Amino acid sequence: DGGITQSPKYLFRKEGQNVTLSCEQNLNHDAMYWYRQDPGQGLRLIYYSQIVNDFQKGDIAEGYSVSREKKESFPLTVTSAQKNPTAFYLCASSISGIASVFEQFFGPGTRLTVL
Amino acid sequence: AQKVTQAQTEISVVEKEDVTLDCVYETRDTTYYLFWYKQPPSGELVFLIRRNSFDEQNEISGRYSWNFQKSTSSFNFTITASQVVDSAVYFCALSGRETSGSRLTFGEGTQLTVNP
């Protein structure tokens, strides 16, 4: 089955620690995205990548880092510099088009809690 | 700047009622795309529909229908004969092709509760 997987589903972190959230897709999509969702709010874009070995900051990139070494994988690291990292993190992917914008498909999410 | 407004934070209906979720958007792009997503309690966003700015034809898919009106910058979503399984948070999203490429701007979402 084609889709997007995220792991772990729940993650607990102590203050001052870096943690990495995994996102893998087998949809053969070029573009991948990371969003953060806080309770009762919409999604905010952290980073996105249109192609392997390239990525851009979204609206709230401070305290986060990403890499895109493989088409299928787009891991997100939440660093100790992120002051309020407790949130629900969603990864998405889409076809990348020059003349059009395509729908994004989402993974099941990772719920990060800082203790 | 782009903006999506979903003024209804929460809606509660009784099963079999029809319900309309409002979405108003702002963009300066002439070419843009609008989306609706459903987020059930499990958390994963489910894609429902994509519409481009040149296609104002309304769409119906089963109990779901969408009304796109450029004159009022609205893209409203109606569920006919609602069911308990429709209970979820619904998000409207926008992407202006010229200014944001594939980036989506999401509204704050509308929590729909369908009571038996």
Per-position DSSP letters for B8-39, written without gaps between them:
-SEEEEETT--EEE--EEE---SSEEEEEEEE
Q: How far apart are CA B84 and CA B103, in angstroms?
A: 32
Chain A residues 37-56 with CB within 8 Å of chain B: 40-45, 48, 50
Of A31, A97, A107, the CB nearest to B44: A107
For residue A82, the model assigns a pLDDT of 87
Q: What is the pLDDT along chain B (116 residues), one digit of tens a residue?
A: 899 999 999 999 999 999 999 999 999 999 999 999 999 999 999 999 999 999 888 888 999 999 999 999 999 999 999 999 999 999 999 998 777 778 899 999 999 999 99
- Hey, which residues does A77 pair with through a beta bridge? A20, A65
CB contact (8 A) between residue A88 and residue B107: no
Residues 6+ apart with CB under 8 A from A73: A22, A23, A24
For residue B56, the model assigns a pLDDT of 84
Give Cα separations from A96 to A79, A104, B26, B102 (angstroms). Answer: 28, 10, 23, 7
Whether A93 and A4 have beta carbons less than 8 Å apart is answered as yes
Query: What residues in chain A have per-residue pLDDT under 50?
Result: none
Q: Does A108 touch chain B (CB under 8 A)?
A: yes
Q: How far apart are CA A88 and CA A106, in angstroms?
A: 13
Q: How far apart are CA B112 and CA B82, in angstroms?
A: 10
For residue B1, the model assigns a pLDDT of 80
- Hey, which residues does A51 pair with through a beta bridge? A54
Q: Does A101 touch chain B (CB under 8 A)?
A: yes
Give Cα separations from A98 to A30, A31, A101, B103 (angstroms). Answer: 12, 12, 8, 13
Tell me how close the Cα of B46 comes to any Cα of chain A, in angstroms: 7
CB contact (8 A) between residue A101 and residue B33: yes
Chain B residues 38-77 with CB within 8 Å of chain A: 42-47, 50, 52
CB contact (8 A) between residue A101 and residue B43: no
Give Cα separations from B3 to A47, A70, A84, B38, B88 (angstroms). Answer: 19, 33, 24, 19, 22
For residue A1, the model assigns a pLDDT of 63
